[in-house]
Copies of this chain bind each other. A is one copy, B any other.
């Protein structure tokens, strides 16, 4: 028995007030739709179709290549969308099961989808139900005395007694292929909205004596996202799942509710993550690394035993036992070799620091190579941009760059070379040499009297 997936994802989400198609909104490193597809992944579906409408191109780009896209040009209802999706599945065998999901229910869990699709030999199909206090508008699940599902009664057809039922049909189905197709062929748009409803399938099947088994879920799992407050709830729920998984694997977190980690990120057991940390994209945190508080790391790797706090790190490699921050910004192409240090108010871009090299204070290093064990003084700048081109600064090993040195690139500083504080270095410096650019210090005695006099005059004016 093969399983086929159809995800209905054509809804526009007008209440989101967003130009982005609703199902393309990112949540913890996946799109909303991506979470639904991920929940279906363990079924190893034979084929997967996503039905798109508004913004189809934007959504299509986010999909894996083995997902087929079907377009619902006109919004004629969920039944219509399901017809389009199932038509795009191609051939199915009679015993196959077609699972219909929605692109805006990102909190679906794999285990729930698995239970839904686990249609037994003697079953025609299954549907998901849940209990909520106010199921107005939904079909109610009527059970007999033994507790098994008797029928689904649409809200409009409920008796007053049935309206009191809190268990509702979530509209998520797994049904044998042939029966599903046949039932969909029979639904009509003969209703107040003039739309084709997938829920009508249940009654049509029941009319043929085919009852669907109910799988009871928590209501959150099947909740559709239609507004930013609902999106925020989904973000919290999925963030919690990521963090629970990491903590159970041995990651320490001081406050998981305030720790924002994409599903795409790898964090090794033994790492410590403080609150206010965002880990995004293709990021890896090694064991015994300590990250945060309050750091933003995207597309970067943090090595074993490294510490990064109060810093922003983008597209960088932080080696073993390195230290970053507080208050550092590592931009694209920054590479820190083992034991190197980028301290406070330091920014780097497209720069390599050799093993044990240090830039502890207020430096800007762009397009630079810094050799092992070299020390970069406070306020040093690699003057890499001349208004037209960017140039490279090369610093040897064990060099000592004095505070406030301007390294006017292209320039090379030799091994063990030094520069005097406040120097503007425009020429290469030889190995072992000290380069200095400085005038003589002069003193003007009694200068403070002028300042005092001006202050006094100013005060007199007031």
A interface, CB within 8 angstroms of B: 15-19, 227-229, 231-232, 235-236, 244, 247-258, 260, 269-270, 275-276, 278, 293-294, 296, 309-310, 312, 326-327, 329, 344-345, 347, 361-362, 364, 375, 377-379, 381, 383, 385-389, 398, 400, 402-404, 406, 408, 416-418, 420-427, 429-449, 451-452, 454-455, 458
- Residue in contact with A408 in the complex, picked from B309, B418, B421, CB distance below 8 Å: B421
Contact of B260 with A254 in the complex, beta carbons under 8 Å:
yes
Q: What are the residues of chain B within 8 A of A431 when measuring CB–CB? A: 448
Q: What are the residues of chain B within 8 A of A429 when measuring CB–CB? A: 443
Contact of B422 with A434 in the complex, beta carbons under 8 Å:
no
Contact of B255 with A228 in the complex, beta carbons under 8 Å:
no
**Complex Cα–Cα for A362 and B257 (A):** 34
* A445-B425 contact, Cβ under 8 Å, with A227-B248, A235-B254, A403-B383: no
Contact of B441 with A435 in the complex, beta carbons under 8 Å:
yes
Contact of B256 with A232 in the complex, beta carbons under 8 Å:
yes
**Considering only CB atoms, which chain B residue lies closest to A268 in the complex?**
B17
Other A-B contacts than A257-B257, A433-B446, A433-B447, 9 sampled, CB-CB below 8 A, are: A375-B387, A387-B455, A388-B451, A400-B451, A404-B424, A434-B444, A434-B448, A436-B443, A439-B439
Contact of A383 with B362 in the complex, beta carbons under 8 Å:
no
Contact of A326 with B326 in the complex, beta carbons under 8 Å:
no
A-B contact pairs, 8 of them (CB 8 A): A232-B254, A235-B255, A276-B293, A361-B364, A377-B383, A388-B454, A429-B443, A437-B440
Q: What are the residues of chain B within 8 A of A449 when measuring CB–CB? A: 432
**Complex Cα–Cα for A17 and B253 (A):** 13
**Complex Cα–Cα for A400 and B430 (A):** 30
* A443-B435 contact, Cβ under 8 Å, with A275-B276, A329-B327: yes
Contact of A437 with B439 in the complex, beta carbons under 8 Å:
yes
Q: What are the residues of chain B within 8 A of A388 when measuring CB–CB? A: 451, 454-455, 458
Q: Nearest chain B CB to A374's CB is how many angstroms away?
A: 11
Q: 6 closest Cβ contacts across the A-B interface?
A: A17-B250, A434-B447, A422-B424, A228-B247, A416-B448, A432-B448
* A442-B451 contact, Cβ under 8 Å, with A228-B247, A344-B329, A421-B408: no
Q: What are the residues of chain B within 8 A of A310 when measuring CB–CB? A: 296, 312
Contact of A451 with B387 in the complex, beta carbons under 8 Å:
yes
- Residue in contact with A345 in the complex, picked from B276, B345, B426, CB distance below 8 Å: B345
Q: What are the residues of chain B within 8 A of A435 when measuring CB–CB? A: 441-444
Contact of B402 with A383 in the complex, beta carbons under 8 Å:
yes
Give the one of A232, A255, A275 with max B CB within 10 A. Answer: A232
* A229-B248 contact, Cβ under 8 Å, with A379-B381, A441-B423, A445-B430: yes
Q: What are the residues of chain B within 8 A of A427 when measuring CB–CB? A: 441
Contact of B228 with A248 in the complex, beta carbons under 8 Å:
yes
Q: Nearest chain B CB to A321's CB is how many angstroms away?
A: 16
**Complex Cα–Cα for A257 and B75 (A):** 36
Contact of B451 with A433 in the complex, beta carbons under 8 Å:
no
Contact of A347 with B361 in the complex, beta carbons under 8 Å:
yes
- Residue in contact with A229 in the complex, picked from B247, B345, B451, CB distance below 8 Å: B247
Contact of B17 with A270 in the complex, beta carbons under 8 Å:
yes
Q: Nearest chain B CB to A450's CB is how many angstroms away?
A: 9
Q: What are the residues of chain B within 8 A of A383 when measuring CB–CB? A: 377-378, 402-403, 421
- Residue in contact with A418 in the complex, picked from B244, B345, B440, B451, CB distance below 8 Å: B451
Q: What are the residues of chain B within 8 A of A375 when measuring CB–CB? A: 385, 387
**Complex Cα–Cα for A347 and B325 (A):** 12
Contact of B312 with A326 in the complex, beta carbons under 8 Å:
yes
**Complex Cα–Cα for A253 and B326 (A):** 24
Contact of B256 with A258 in the complex, beta carbons under 8 Å:
no
**Complex Cα–Cα for A215 and B430 (A):** 79
Q: What are the residues of chain B within 8 A of A387 when measuring CB–CB? A: 375, 400, 418, 451, 455
Give the one of A236, A446, A448 with max B CB within 10 A. Answer: A448
Contact of B293 with A296 in the complex, beta carbons under 8 Å:
yes
- Residue in contact with A244 in the complex, picked from B229, B252, B436, B440, CB distance below 8 Å: B229
**Complex Cα–Cα for A434 and B452 (A):** 13
**Considering only CB atoms, which chain B residue lies closest to A361 in the complex?**
B364
**Complex Cα–Cα for A233 and B422 (A):** 52
Contact of A227 with B247 in the complex, beta carbons under 8 Å:
yes
Give the one of A249, A404, A417, A430 with max B CB within 10 A. Answer: A404
- Residue in contact with A447 in the complex, picked from B228, B309, B421, B432, CB distance below 8 Å: B432
